[in-house]
Homo-oligomer: A and B are copies of this chain.
Amino acid sequence: MSAIRHALSTSREDDFAQWYQEVISEAEMAEESGVRGCMVIKPWGYGIWERIQRLMDDRIKAAGVSNCYFPLFIPLSYFAKEAEHVEGFAKEMAVVTHHRLIADGKGGLIPDPEAKLEEPLIVRPTSETVIGAAMSRWIQSWRDLPLLTNQWANVVRWEMRTRMFLRTSEFLWQEGHTAHADRDDAMNETLRALEMYRGFAEQVLAMPVIAGEKPENERFPGAVATYSIEAMMQDGKALQAGTSHYLGTGFAEASGIQYQDREGTQQYAHTTSWGVSTRLIGGLIMTHGDDDGLRVPPAVAPHQIVILPMLRENDEDEALLAYCEELHAAIAAQHALGEPIRVLLDKRPGKATQKRWAWVKKGAPLILEIGGRDAAGGQVSMLRRDRLWNDKAKANIQAMPREDFIARAAAELGDIQSSLFTEAEAKRDANIARASSFAEVEAFFSEDKRYPGWVEVEWARPTGAELEQVVQKLKALKLTMRNIPLDAEPVDGDCIFTGRPAVERIYVARAY
């Protein structure tokens, strides 16, 4: 039996980081732009983002949230106000200081010294401050609450070490910002957004996640509580894939978001914020990619089915193309996963096998190769991306009557969607262990295992200096606490850090 010859030159087992870069390059997802820390997102990568946007936006709108657009630039003074309140204030930001270029007299251009801004502007790293200022204008009475806003935008955080999709200086995201009359309503919204993200990750991205609260040391600066969804990548590391924050009244106090309650008293609103970003695409790659490239879940695949006519540049091409056009129309008339099937007829010049492997690496869920014999016999030759190889180490192509394929296309796509989830969930669950002592944690991560996974431990939720000790102890092993799962089993032991009775469970892992 011959060995499989995979489409990528680096396997996940060889070098996960290099494999990740190779997938991004070979699947034509993105590339370096020549601008420090910023990437160019290419059509296949951006197409996946557009699918994420559309399906997430449907969920955001269904929750009664309205999209708005706020300025890219934030005056420096807004941050000064925030810096007073917030200790962990991040300072790595792009600063606009001039508004004009002039010739330098040597054939080049320089910022015009005459056009220096009186107050520098910051390219938004997040929009809490500028949205807070708008909310303070929009909210007067309890009747104006809740105020539920969201924006889809680019944001910039000056990152020293960047990695495509996971950490880039500019990235795309949505940021929800809401204001509420009281803690309960704000907390409900915080958890609604978290649950929206959990459902989206699992149902749309086929990426199993743990929804839970971040420990105190990992809170968003200024937040009263931060929640996250955490996914396990195939190298065992955790990826924080979305966050939702209950901000208490702190941001409302800083921005002056006040309302008159039913009794006529002025009150500060309770606010929340929640976001997911193009980082989700990094998560998608590291969850579903294999040694042949990316595998895109059908729900977010820009093309779910790609038809490849095996053109020979001869007289038979015309009949072959006519057959493929008709097949394309018949498939496009079908629905899968609640939407019309997205099918592409790829008529570009090029060798059929090269084109096949290009689509394999991109991870199109279903590839249909149509040769002259298929057309003449009313057949299609189907390749399912998630079952790529047969037991002879060949591409697992199945021939079937055209009608049979059309009848089962939606079911195949649905099955790929659920199979990818089941496979990822099984992998994740196999790589989570419970540890009932710190020694067990150490043992788990010092095992001779390339990609160790996560441990679930019980703890007493220490705070202050005691928490800091825990953080440092874990840091020495390159570990972090991920989150405190919301749907955990009850505790039944002692805190592995303090020895006191445990109050909850928490995941410990290496992380992106």
What is the interface of chain A, defined by CB distance below 8 A to chain B?
Answer: 31, 33-35, 38-43, 46-47, 49-50, 66-77, 79-80, 83-84, 91-103, 107-112, 120-123, 130, 133-134, 137, 143, 149, 153-154, 156, 158, 170, 172, 348-350
Contact = CB atoms under 8 A, between A and B. Distances in A.
B93 A100 contact: yes
B67 A79 contact: no
A80 B107 contact: yes
Contact of A72 (B66, B122, B123): B123
A130 to B, nearest CB: 7
Contacts of A76: 101, 109-110
Given A38-B72, A43-B68, 19 more contacts: A33-B71, A33-B130, A34-B130, A35-B121, A38-B71, A40-B71, A42-B68, A46-B68, A77-B108, A80-B109, A91-B100, A91-B101, A92-B99, A95-B100, A95-B111, A99-B158, A111-B120, A153-B154, A154-B154
A396 to B, nearest CB: 29
Contacts of A154: 72, 153-154
A311 to B, nearest CB: 13
Given A34-B75, A66-B47, A69-B41, A96 B99 contact: no
Given A46-B67, A68-B42, A73 B170 contact: yes
B73 A38 contact: yes
Contact of A40 (B68, B91, B96): B68
Contact of A70 (B33, B77, B108): B33
Contact of A96 (B66, B75, B96, B172): B96
B84 A95 contact: no
B95 A69 contact: no
A287 to B, nearest CB: 22
Contacts of A50: 67
A122 B120 CA distance: 14
A46 B151 CA distance: 10
Contacts of A149: 43
Nearest to A98: B95
B95 A99 contact: yes
A403 to B, nearest CB: 29
B134 A40 contact: yes
Tell which of A103, A121, A137, A349 has the most Cβ of chain B within 10 Å.
Answer: A121
Contacts of A98: 94-95, 97, 120
9 contacts: A41-B68, A43-B66, A43-B67, A43-B68, A47-B66, A72-B154, A94-B98, A95-B100, A101-B122
